[in-house]
Amino acid sequence: MTEPFRSSEEFDEQAHQLYNEGRYDEALTLLREGLQLHPQSVELHVGVGYAQLASEQYAWARQAFEFALILDPEHEDALAGLGETALVIGHLQQALTAFQRLIDLGYDDDHELMLQVGRALFREGFFVEARRYFELARAHHGESAELAASLGYTAHRLGLEADAFYWLRRAIALDEGYPEPRIYLANILYDRGENGAALHHFARLRPEDHFDDLGIWRTIELLKVARGLEDEHAELLPWLARLAELGGEPSPEEMLLGEIEGLLPDGSRLDPNQLELFGTLMREVPEMHKRGASEPVGHVIETLDGLTLRGTWDDLLLQLQAVEGAWPDGTLTEFMHAFAQRGHVETGVRIPVTGAEAFLRGAAEAGVIRILE
């Protein structure tokens, strides 16, 4: 009995299933079988490219993507795959040209595609370029926790710590159950010496949220110090069990990296008290004043909830109190103290409460808001 004829779509779908299971060799075999029957199928050539890319057969992957683009010069997955492959083998200009072509074709609103491009650039250390693609996608998908987290990771690698705080906390605000940005934020805080804030976030994670043993070791250490726990305390047992699942103790390289990341350029430890020096402190909150019709709006901030607020520093402080919603009948001073306390607990940054501008700039350093203008 002859085998029923399969369409190129059926080959592609079955190969996708194998690919998603990590069975790349089997996926390649199936895709090549499909190409014998459907040699002009762009999707099958693209599938071959991604399977070879995953198998680190970079030269063959590049060839497969280039052939797919001969058949369809505007195929978005082939362009993304070619760019990713070119990055890995060091052909930066070809990669950037392929990625830019996606933008020219209007794919900047494709959430998954822009994440793929941004992550490929990030993995190869092109953080400025990665940030551009994450930002492009965010313009269309402002509620994506993955994009917010990706912007946070990228900002941290670029040394933009306030931005990193903001985007990581924005990702957590968008999806409380998304562990990766909270783990990343907790590790940043640990490396800064902000142990209380680090524990605040580590304690909100479950052992199974971790796939790297470094974060678990740090959680155990912080719990022991903060709560005076002994090694065999019941509260530590789930963390120790997860540690055993992942393979035990951190390598010497991981321990050394943790030490290095907690140092300042001169070799000294970061002093958390230095974090409260944000801008010029004001003696008191000035009263609101009316603006003339021709006076400029002033400043623009974005909250963790993604709200954009405009006005003078004093206007913005009042608006922030209103949108936060927890202090409708409280004074501005009460609001600032409570808001600053929350920021300090979650990031270790001390937010000045002596004036609107100093408060908002400090809040931005803590990643509670983001100053756009």
Show the DSSP H helices in 203-331 as ranges: 213-227, 237-246, 252-261, 313-324
250 with 320, same domain: the answer is: no
Boundary (domain end) residue, out of 226, 251, 269:
269
8 A C-beta contact, residue 145 and residue 304: no
Q: Taking 70 as the threshold, does the pLDDT of residue 210 lie above it?
A: yes
* 372 phi, psi to nearest 5 deg: -90, -35
254 with 184, same domain: the answer is: yes
Q: Which of 100-109, 186-195, 224-233, 259-268 has the lowest mean pLDDT?
A: 259-268
309 with 366, same domain: the answer is: yes
Distance CA 303, CA 2 (A): 63
* pLDDT tens by residue, 117-162: 999 999 988 999 999 999 999 999 999 999 999 999 999 999 888 8
Largest CA distance in the chain: 90
Q: What is the pLDDT of residue 325?
A: 61
221 with 304, same domain: the answer is: no
Q: Is residue 162 part of a domain?
A: no
Q: Is residue 51 part of a domain?
A: no
* Mean of pLDDT values over 209-226: 89
Residue scoring higher pLDDT (136 or 252)? 136
Q: What is the pLDDT of residue 167?
A: 94
246 with 207, same domain: the answer is: yes
Q: Is residue 132 part of a domain?
A: no
Token readout for 149 is 């987290």
* Mean of pLDDT values over 288-307: 60
Q: Is residue 336 part of a domain?
A: yes
264 with 304, same domain: the answer is: no
Task: State percent of the chain over pLDDT 70.
Answer: 83
Q: Taking 50 as the threshold, does the pLDDT of residue 276 lie above it?
A: no
* Mean of pLDDT values over 77-92: 93
Number of domains the chain contains: 2
* Mean of pLDDT values over 68-90: 94
- Average pLDDT value for the chain: 80
Q: Which of 7-21, 34-48, 195-209 has the lowest mean pLDDT?
A: 7-21
Q: What is the pLDDT of residue 175?
A: 93
Helix, strand, coil percentages for the chain (3-state, nearest 5): 65, 5, 30
Q: Is residue 143 part of a domain?
A: no
* pLDDT tens by residue, 13-29: 888 888 888 888 888 88
Q: Residue 217: give the domain boundaries.
A: 177-269
Q: What is the pLDDT of residue 4?
A: 64
Boundary (domain end) residue, out of 249, 269, 289:
269
Boundary (domain end) residue, out of 269, 291, 313:
269
* Dihedral of the alpha carbons of 193, 197, 198, 203, in degrees to the nearest 10: 150
Q: Is residue 319 part of a domain?
A: yes
The most confident of 100-114, 311-325, 354-368, by mean pLDDT: 100-114
317 with 366, same domain: the answer is: yes
* pLDDT tens by residue, 334-351: 778 888 887 787 878 888
3-state secondary structure of 314: helix
314 confidence band (pLDDT: 50, 70, 90):
confident
Q: What is the pLDDT of residue 133?
A: 94
319 with 245, same domain: the answer is: no
What 17-25 contacts at long range (C-beta under 8 Å, 24+ apart), as own/partner pairs, is: 19/47, 19/50, 19/51, 19/54, 24/51, 24/54, 24/55, 25/55
Q: Is residue 101 part of a domain?
A: no
Q: Is residue 60 part of a domain?
A: no
262 with 189, same domain: the answer is: yes
